[in-house]
C-alpha cells in the first residue's frame, strides 16, 4: 500500500513538472508534442462544475460532425501549470482544420472539458491569456445534490471514511489546514480537492471572478436539471452558441452516473438547502435567472 502511494505521488509530481520528466520522451503523446506548433488551440471550454454532468455533455458534443475532440476530455492545463506547447498537443492539427474549412467547406471547432477550472480562481486569468476569445460553457447542478455526489465519488475512490454529515461538519476544519499555503498551491491541495463539498457549490463567488475577466456573451450557463429533462433542446442551444448547425444525436448514453447505496438523510438535505439559500439568491440576482433548487 505504501509503495503504491509513493508511486502515485511520484507520477503526479512528474506530471506537474514536465520539463524534467524523463518519461515524456517515451510517452504516446511525444509525437503530438513535437508537432504542437502545428496544432490549434480550443474554441470552447467546458469549465465546470464537478459532478454536474460534464462527461456526458462533452461526449455528446463531440458527436456533432463539426466538433473535433481533444485527445483527452480533461487536459487540466490551466490548473496544473503545464506548458503551452504541451497543451497544444491535445488538439487537432492546423492541417486538419484547413482541410475541413477550405476543402470540405465545413465548420471546424474543438475544445476540452475540465470541470475544476471554474473552482480555481486563478484559472480565469490564465485562460484569458491563452485563449481570450474561447467560448465558455458551464453546467450548474443543485449544490446540495452536487455535494452528495462528490461525497459518494470520494467514498468509491476510498478517499473518504467519514459519513456525509461528518464530512460536511468538518469541511472548514479540514480546509483550514491549507490556509497558510499560497493561493495557487492551496487550490491544488489534497484536502481542498477532496473535501470541499460545500465550497464547490457556492457558484456566485466563483462565477463573479470569471465574469470580471471575460465578457458575459462568451458564457453559456446551463443546469444539470434542464440537461436531464430537455436533452435535445439543451444540446441545440449549445450548438447555436458555438455557431454550428443544429444536429440531432441518437443513442445518447450518460457517463459516470452515480448509483448510491443510500439516499441523503432528509434532515441533512433540509439543512443544506437552508445553508445554500443565501448563496443561491445571490447567484439568481447576478444571472437574472432562478433555478428550482429549493427541494
| pLDDT value for 25 | 46
- Both 8 and 124 in one domain: the answer is no
For the CA atoms of 128, 131, 135, 140, the dihedral, rounded to the nearest 10 degrees, stands at -50
Range of the domain at 10: 1-32
Mention every residue, 6+ apart, whose C-beta is less than 8 A from residue 127: 45, 47, 78, 117, 134
- Both 83 and 3 in one domain: the answer is no
The three cell numbers locating residue 110: 474543438
Rounded to whole angstroms, how far apart are CA atoms 282 and 279? 5
3-state secondary structure of 125: helix
pLDDT per residue of the chain (295 residues) written in tens, 0 to 9:
555 555 555 555 555 555 555 545 445 567 788 889 999 999 999 999 999 999 999 999 999 999 999 999 999 899 876 678 889 999 999 999 999 999 999 999 999 999 999 998 889 999 999 999 999 999 999 999 999 999 999 999 999 999 999 999 999 999 887 655 555 655 667 788 889 999 999 999 999 999 999 999 999 999 999 999 999 999 999 999 999 999 988 777 766 566 777 899 999 999 999 999 999 999 999 999 999 898 7
Residue 111 falls inside a structural domain = yes
Which uninterrupted H or E stretch holds 57?
helix 54-61
In sequence order, what E strands does the chain have?
A: 44-48, 67-69, 109-113, 135-140, 219-223
Residue 221 falls inside a structural domain = yes
Q: How many domains does the chain have?
A: 2
Q: In this structure, what CATH number is given to the domain that contains residue 143?
A: 3.40.50.300
Contact (CB, 8 A) for 38 and 95: yes
Q: In the 3-class helix/strand/coil scheme, how is 241-281 assigned residue by residue?
A: HCCCCCCCCCCCCCCCCCCCCCCCCHHHHHHHHHHHHHHHH
- Both 138 and 200 in one domain: the answer is yes
- Both 150 and 5 in one domain: the answer is no
- Both 22 and 136 in one domain: the answer is no
Rounded to whole angstroms, how far apart are CA atoms 58 and 185? 28
| pLDDT value for 23 | 46
- Both 193 and 163 in one domain: the answer is yes
| pLDDT value for 287 | 96
Rounded to whole angstroms, how far apart are CA atoms 295 and 284? 16
| pLDDT value for 190 | 79
Residue 293 falls inside a structural domain = no
What values do phi and psi take at 19, rounded to 5? -65, -25
Amino acid at each position: 500500500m505504501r509503495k503504491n502511494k509513493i508511486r502515485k505521488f511520484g507520477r503526479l509530481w512528474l506530471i506537474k513538472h514536465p520539463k524534467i520528466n524523463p518519461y515524456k520522451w517515451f510517452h504516446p503523446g511525444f509525437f503530438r508534442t513535437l508537432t504542437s506548433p502545428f496544432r490549434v488551440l480550443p474554441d470552447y471550454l467546458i469549465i465546470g462544475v464537478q459532478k454536474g454532468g460534464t462527461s456526458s455533455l462533452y461526449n455528446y458534443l463531440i458527436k456533432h460532425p463539426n466538433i473535433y475532440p481533444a485527445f483527452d476530455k480533461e487536459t487540466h492545463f490551466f490548473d496544473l501549470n503545464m506548458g503551452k506547447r504541451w497543451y497544444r498537443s491535445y488538439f487537432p492539427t492546423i492541417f486538419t482544420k484547413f482541410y475541413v474549412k477550405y476543402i470540405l467547406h465545413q465548420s471546424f471547432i474543438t475544445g476540452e472539458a475540465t470541470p475544476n477550472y471554474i473552482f480555481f480562481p486563478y484559472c480565469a486569468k490564465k485562460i484569458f491569456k491563452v485563449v481570450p476569445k474561447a467560448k465558455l460553457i458551464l453546467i450548474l447542478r443543485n449544490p446540495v445534490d452536487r455535494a452528495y455526489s462528490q461525497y459518494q465519488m470520494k467514498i468509491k475512490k476510498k478517499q473518504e471514511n467519514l459519513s456525509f454529515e461528518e464530512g460536511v461538519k468538518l469541511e472548514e476544519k479540514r480546509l483550514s489546514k491549507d490556509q497558510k499555503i499560497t493561493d495557487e498551491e492551496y487550490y491544488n491541495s489534497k484536502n481542498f480537492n477532496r473535501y470541499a463539498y460545500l465550497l464547490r457549490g457556492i457558484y456566485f463567488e466563483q462565477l463573479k471572478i470569471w465574469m470580471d475577466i471575460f465578457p458575459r456573451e462568451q458564457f453559456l450557463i446551463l443546469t444539470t436539471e434542464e440537461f436531464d429533462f430537455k436533452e435535445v433542446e439543451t444540446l441545440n442551444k449549445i450548438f447555436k452558441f458555438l455557431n454550428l448547425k443544429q444536429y440531432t444525436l441518437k443513442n445518447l448514453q450518460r457517463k459516470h452516473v452515480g448509483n448510491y447505496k443510500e439516499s441523503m438523510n432528509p434532515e441533512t438535505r433540509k439543512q443544506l438547502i437552508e445553508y445554500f439559500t443565501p448563496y443561491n439568491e445571490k447567484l439568481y440576482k447576478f444571472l437574472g435567472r432562478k433555478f428550482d433548487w429549493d427541494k
